[in-house]
């Protein structure tokens, strides 16, 4: 007597992967949640003062609640979708300030004295000095402007990806394609930036402009340098990040923009390189910070693409 196998049971279902248990959160949101959980736990391990500990716990609870609420309600109104797309930029600022609370400065400046040796070999090179001399003063002004651009480049990247995907949407609704592209963009940028902030407390550095003040090349009237100093004096944590969060962020932004808008992405790559050079020239960072930041930006972009590809493949298998 032959057995009849129910059609609904005939096909074996693949075992769900870890990515299928993400409760509708994007990769970028999972990265954010992981970072803020890490910072909360680190606040206890580093034995912060009760005031700072309470601030981190409260702020992270509000941040996580807002993040999940925006994800759940972004489809209800256009302004909620826009808020969800821009909210990660606020997360970056919160993460920066919180990681700074974990830093304990090194009064002996051991790491600074190692990094400055490499910088002096680079910046005292005759070719570098000749280029700075030949381009003076406009090259120096451009580099200060480039450093200033590290702040708006992230929101400009958001705008570039948004409009590029809206213009190129053909096979699916523009809103759907834009949401997917925005998740893709923030996955790379947050992975790069939050990694730098996560390891920041373990590499206590002082900005070389503060400790050594050895700006290379001919003396140039400050102009935009004064504005950069004012911003850093009022809004930075008064320390140097290794790897450079600025360079990591703008590198990831440029690569993410290039994926969706190749021509515009080339401009972003040029500006990202300018930011990296500006951090070294202006002594905002050591060369080692900038180099490591660029590597983190590239690695974060590649890792985010691999994760997204894995997740899409898993979804196709489950839907097959």
Q: Render each residue's pLDDT in the chain as its tens digit; 320 residues.
A: 444 434 443 444 444 333 333 446 788 889 999 999 999 999 999 888 899 999 999 999 999 899 888 888 877 777 888 888 889 999 999 999 999 999 888 999 999 999 999 999 999 899 999 999 999 999 999 999 999 999 999 999 999 998 888 776 555 555 555 678 888 999 999 999 999 999 999 999 999 999 998 888 888 888 899 999 999 998 888 889 999 999 999 999 999 999 999 999 999 999 999 999 999 999 999 999 999 999 999 999 999 999 887 766 665 555 55
Q: How many CA atoms lie within 13 A of 71 on its CB side?
A: 20
Buried b (16+ CB within 10 A) or exposed e, 9-47: eeeeeeeeeebeeeeebbbbbbbbbebbeebbebbeeee
- Which tokens go with 214? 């050895």
**pTM score of the predicted model:** 0.86
Q: Domains of the chain: which residue ranges?
A: 108-319
């Amino acid at each position: 007597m032959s057995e009849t196998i129910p059609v609904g049971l005939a096909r074996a279902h693949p075992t769900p992967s870890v990515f299928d248990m993400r409760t509708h959160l994007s990769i970028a949101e999972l990265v954010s949640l992981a970072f803020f959980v890490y910072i909360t736990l680190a606040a206890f391990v580093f034995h912060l003062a009760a005031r700072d500990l309470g601030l981190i716990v409260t702020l992270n609870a509000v941040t996580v609640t807002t993040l999940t609420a925006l994800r759940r309600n972004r489809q209800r109104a256009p302004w909620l979708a826009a808020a969800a797309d821009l909210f990660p930029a606020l997360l970056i600022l919160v993460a920066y300030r919180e990681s700074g609370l974990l830093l304990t400065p090194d009064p002996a400046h051991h790491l600074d004295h190692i990094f400055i040796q490499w910088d002096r070999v680079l910046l005292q090179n005759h070719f570098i000095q000749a280029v700075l001399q030949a381009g003076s003063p406009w090259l120096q002004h451009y580099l200060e402007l480039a450093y200033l651009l590290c702040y708006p480049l992230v929101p400009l990247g958001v705008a570039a990806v948004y409009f590029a995907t809206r213009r190129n949407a053909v096979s699916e609704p523009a809103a759907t394609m834009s949401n997917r592209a925005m998740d893709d963009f923030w996955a790379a940028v947050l992975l790069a930036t939050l990694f730098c902030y996560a390891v920041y407390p373990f590499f206590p550095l002082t900005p070389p402009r503060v400790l050594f003040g050895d700006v290379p090349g001919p003396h140039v009237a400050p102009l935009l340098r004064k504005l950069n100093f004012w911003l850093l004096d009022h809004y930075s944590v008064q320390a140097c990040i290794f790897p450079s969060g600025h360079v990591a962020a703008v590198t990831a932004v440029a690569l993410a923009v290039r994926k969706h808008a190749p021509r515009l992405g080339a401009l972003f790559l040029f500006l990202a390189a300018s930011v990296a050079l500006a951090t070294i020239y202006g002594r905002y960072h050591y060369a080692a910070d900038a180099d490591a930041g660029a590597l983190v930006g590239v690695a974060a972009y590649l890792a985010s693409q691999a994760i997204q590809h894995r997740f899409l493949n898993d979804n196709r298998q489950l839907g097959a």
